[in-house]
Structure 1
Amino acid sequence: MQVPVGRAVTVRVPATSANLGPGFDTLGLALGFYDELEVSTRSEPGATVDVIGEGAADSAAPVSTDSSNLVVQSIAHAFAHAGVAMPGLNLRAHNQIPHSRGMGSSSAAIVSGLVAAQGLLEGIFDFDADTLLRLATDLEGHPDNVAPALFGGLTIAWTTEDGPRCKRLLVHRGVSPLVLVPSFTMSTKQARALQPESVPHEDAIFNVSRSSLLVAALTQSPELLFESTEDKLHQDYRAEAMPQTSTLIKLLREHGFAAVVSGAGPSILVLCSDPAQRVEAAKLVAQHEESPWRALMLAVDFAGASYAPAE
């Protein structure tokens, strides 16, 4: 079967923050900050992409606007899995999620492409949740960011011989995320290159205890967020590559705020136990930082990626 010419869908995918301090390559959180995508099929082969916002032609780091675009590649990956010839495509991307800042922009692109394909192939091929997670992990390499982008909430991701798996959990209503976004960027590949191949045994035990505690803090006991966000596996090793991030996290934690590197950085995630604490954290940053940090006071997204027929 083929997808009819003129079929169109709209997609919305949340930003994400991975690691959350001690949960390296395992924990992820969906945030109420979104990329939106409009996709329609056409008779002419190939794909054209119109980008508005992050990654636009007039931005500091424009993305490709042809078939090499990551969203288009993700759609193609889904169509190949379904065994259906990919039609010509017109895409219009409205991007809010900052690129190369540790907020899951590449995961959002991958997930938006897969979910767009899911919508275009409705009635022709069905994608279940496990398949979407596997296809997304194929492209991203790790499930910790794509899982919350797909399913929302707090996710615990792991891999098995049969592929990636995840468990979605609801977050306590008191948890109030603050994301501090700098003007400078950080390459995930560069950040991973700073990671040692092995860590001391006691550091591994430390992180197991803190990541376990963090799940409890996020779902039941927000008063434990500060202690549960301590980390010895990755943040110190990457600090030299983003000294401004490291310095600001130290300042926030000295004042009792549960601040961690968001994903690979350089953005900072502050997990506050209530909205008032979040406001205080933002005020502290504004008082002490000469360079600008954009403060995003966000909700936890509970829905994950979604699609609907375009009107």
Structure 2
Amino acid sequence: MQASDGARTVEVRVPATSANLGPGFDTLGLALSVYDELTVTALEAGELEISVEGTGADEIPTDASNLIARTIRYAYESVGIPAPGLRIAANNGIPHGRGLGSSGAAVVAGLLAAKGLLAGRAELSDTDLLRLATELEGHPDNVAPALFGGLTIAWTDEESPQHKKLLVHRGVAPVVFVPQSTMSTSTARSVLDPAVSREDAVFNVSRSALLIAALTQSPDLLLAATEDRLHQDRRAEAMPETDALVRALRARGFAAVVSGAGPSVLVLADGPGRRLEAAAVAEEHTRGSWQALMLAVDFMGGTVREPAEGA
């Protein structure tokens, strides 16, 4: 590796994520097979070139306020090295403002780009990446699966955020229904009660524990395991169409939940056939106005590499 990051180029790929998964509020997250991809080149200090294609391209700033650029600078500051200028070319596949972790993916993309650009000069460990991502995003439930893939349990102890990655049962078949409308995380969180009853807390603890078993061993338990009393009903007024679709799908036996802060709906089907049935129900209920994304669980998480020779 060269001693300087000048003119170094790295390629980054980060999956979408769905957090909460029903009862696992601010704790559980799942990486899904739709991606943001970017190529980042280190330039002379002070230079900045940003181009964006794909989903939400018209909404993303291309100046110094760009989240990926800010994250790269944050990572450099964390290791005490001045940030270089940047050329960022992004191709986004993750829907923005739909509860699929687009902001968390941007943070993870920036950190992985910094990790690649800094190779040979400073090391960003997995622990460092999760800590920095949580500092920027506010909580680790989306950034953990974006970094590490699979199903993640995230928590914060006295020292730093932590995670545990689990492999998902091959019988679990995710499908996400994406509306045209958007919802900000801050708006979705503003409607939540500051306190919950002991009964509701115990209910969610039991369902969260069951959900781990359902996702890793027994997909037939997914419907019961995705019941929630902490956040979904409270967000219903802000997302009536999302709430109606979740209820319609669950009434037909599908493990449907609000994806992240919404307004997308995630169904954890117990097999590809059931996923197609869920899509038919959603098509009927929304009259085709929502997009169905037939996805797989991403097991790799975010990746960074130098471009192949001759590519």
Assess same fold via TM > 0.5.
Answer: yes
- Output the amino acid matched with 1:20: L
Residue 118 of structure 2 corresponds to residue 121 of structure 1: yes
Residues in 1 aligned to 2:102 and 2:268: alpha-carbon distance in whole angstroms: 20
Q: Equivalents in 2 of 1:76, 1:304: separation in Å?
A: 22
* 1:8 and 2:9 aligned: yes
Matched, 1:67 2:68: no
Deviation of 1:47 after TM superposition, in Å, equals: 1.9
Give yes or no for contact 1:2–1:85 (8 Å, CA) kept in 2. no
**What is the identity, as a one-letter code, of the residue corresponding to 2:293?**
L
2:158 is equivalent to residue 158 of structure 1: no
Aligned-partner residue type, residue 19 of structure 2: A
CA distance in 1 between partners of 2:57 and 2:28 (Å):
30
Instruction: State the secondary structure of the residue aligned to 1:240.
Output: coil
The count of residues paired between Structure 1 and Structure 2 equals 307
Is 1:233 paired with 2:221?
no
Q: CA RMSD in A?
A: 1.1
- Which consecutive aligned stretches of 4+ in structure 1 deviate over 6 angstroms post-superposition? none
149-158 or 2-11, which deviates more: 2-11
3-state SS of 1:208 partner? helix
1:287 to 284, 287, 295: 284
For 2:133, the equivalent position in structure 1 comes to 136
Alpha-carbon distance, 1:291 to partner? 5.5
Distance in 2 between residues matched to 1:10 and 1:207, nearest whole Å: 40
Select which of 174, 177, 191 maps to 1:177.
174
* 1:49-128 pair list within 5 angstroms: 49-57=50-58, 62-128=59-125
Determine whether 1:26 maps to 2:23: no
The correspondence for 2:199, drawn from 199, 202, 215, is 202
1:30-73 deviation digits (Å, cap 9, x = unpaired): 0011000100011252322100012323xxxx111011100001
Question: Relative to structure 1, is the Cα distance of residues 64 and 3 closer, same or farther in structure 2, using a 3 angstrom cutoff?
Answer: farther
> 2:42 corresponds to which letter in structure 1?
T
Q: Which amino acid aligns with 1:201?
A: R
* Contact 2:5–2:118 (Cα < 8 Å) also in 1: no
What is the alpha-carbon distance in structure 1 between the residues aligned to residue 184 and residue 62 of structure 2?
21
What residue is the counterpart of 1:46 in the other structure?
Answer: 47
Q: Cα offset for 1:286?
A: 1.1
Per the TM alignment, residue 85 of structure 1 is displaced from its structure 2 partner at its CA by: 1.0
| Range moving further from structure 2, 75-84 or 12-21 | 75-84
State the AA in 1 paired with 2:165: R
Match of 2:189 in 1: 192
The 8 Å contact of residues 151 and 168 in structure 2, kept in 1 or not, is answered as yes
CA distance in 2: counterparts of 1:96 and 1:19, whole angstroms: 21
**What are structure 2's unaligned runs of at least 5 residues?**
none
Q: SS at 1:4's partner residue?
A: coil
Q: Take 2:3 and 2:244, find their aligned partners in 1: how far apart are those partners?
A: 54
Structure 1 residue 272 corresponds to structure 2 residue 298: no
**TM-score, normalised with respect to structure 2:** 0.97
CA deviation map 1:220-274 (0-9, x unaligned): 1100000000000000000000100000100000000000000000000000010
**TM alignment of 1:248-267, pairs within 5 A:** 248-267=245-264
| Alpha-carbon distance between aligned partners in 1 of 2:285 and 2:184, rounded to the nearest angstrom | 26
Gaps of at least 5 residues in structure 1 are none
